[in-house]
Amino acid sequence: MSLRQRLLTSMAGQLGRPHGRLGGVVAGALNRGNGQAIATAVAAAQVPAGGVAADIGFGGGAGLRLLVDAVGTGGTVHGVEVSRDMLDRARRQFGRDIDSGRLRLAHGSLTALPFGDATLDAAITVNTVYFVDDLDAVSAEFARTLRPGGRAAIGVGDPEVMRRLPMTPYGFRLRSMDDIVAKLERAGLTVAVQSRADGRLPRHTITAQRPA
């Protein structure tokens, strides 16, 4: 493997699981680069005041703050991460919210959510499904953990544009929008897609709702 390939593989690995010395730098970059996509996902999830919401694969934590503000003092937000370094970072950053009980952090993944059945009113996950092999399992977990009428908002970059990025062959699992939508619908969810231009990378927010 060439030096360039090793660097691109390392970069893709950091985006999928920020860690180590570079983890904090990557976390800040994720917050800046994904800020609008995260805000769009929070809006699409229609987080109810006083409800229970989750940010799965929260990375730098920008979505946690938006969700805590959205649920208000009577609600609860769960942050789920595969990166233990990002969990430690969030514990330092959100200590007051954790102490108050409004925010709860847990190690977990999109294919094994640490929640009981029908416990979430809303969930978001942004730029994470590229790093999961089994999208059917992801869809089934959303269908299992959402309450009737609950929504999951999944943010992704346009897959056709992302295929042309230099790092995506080195750790990303890109899927067509039709494939993502079909797997969510197969799990029994009602799906809608919102698209918008965002510089050179168009972005999509896929809303999957459990029927009431």
Please name which of 51, 109, 100, 44 lies closest in space to residue 79, comparing C-alpha atoms.
109
Note whether 137 and 111 are within 8 A (CB): yes
What percent of the chain lies above the pLDDT cut of 90? 80
| pLDDT-wise least confident of 16-30, 39-53, 128-142, 160-174 | 16-30
* CATH number of the domain encompassing residue 191: 3.40.50.150
**Sign of torsion over alpha carbons 154, 160, 161, 165:** positive
Question: How high is the pLDDT of residue 21?
Answer: 82
Question: What's the Cα-to-Cα distance from 176 to each of 6, 58, 94, 115, rounded to whole Å?
Answer: 26, 23, 36, 28
Interval 138-152: pLDDT, tens: 999 999 999 999 999
Examine the pLDDT at 5 and tell me if it is beyond 90.
Answer: no
Question: How high is the pLDDT of residue 12?
Answer: 82
> How many domains does the chain fold into?
1
Its pTM surpasses 0.85: yes
Query: Rounded mean pLDDT of 27-52?
Result: 93
Q: How many other C-beta atoms can be found within 10 angstroms of the C-beta atom of residue 35?
A: 15
Calculated CA dihedral for residues 141, 58, 197, 139, nearest 10 degrees = -10
Interval 85-130: pLDDT, tens: 999 999 999 999 999 999 999 999 999 999 999 999 999 999 999 9
Calculated CA dihedral for residues 145, 150, 153, 154, nearest 10 degrees = 30
In sequence order, which residues have a C-beta less than 8 Å from that of residue 42 and are 6 or more positions away? 63, 66, 67, 70, 124, 153
Mean pLDDT for the chain? 94
Residue 96 CA to residue 111 CA, distance in Å, equals: 29
Query: Rounded mean pLDDT of 171-180?
Result: 95
What is the side-by-side strand order in the sheet with 103-107?
Answer: 103-107, 76-81, 52-56, 120-126, 146-157, 203-209, 190-196
User: Residue 99 is part of which domain span?
Assistant: 3-210
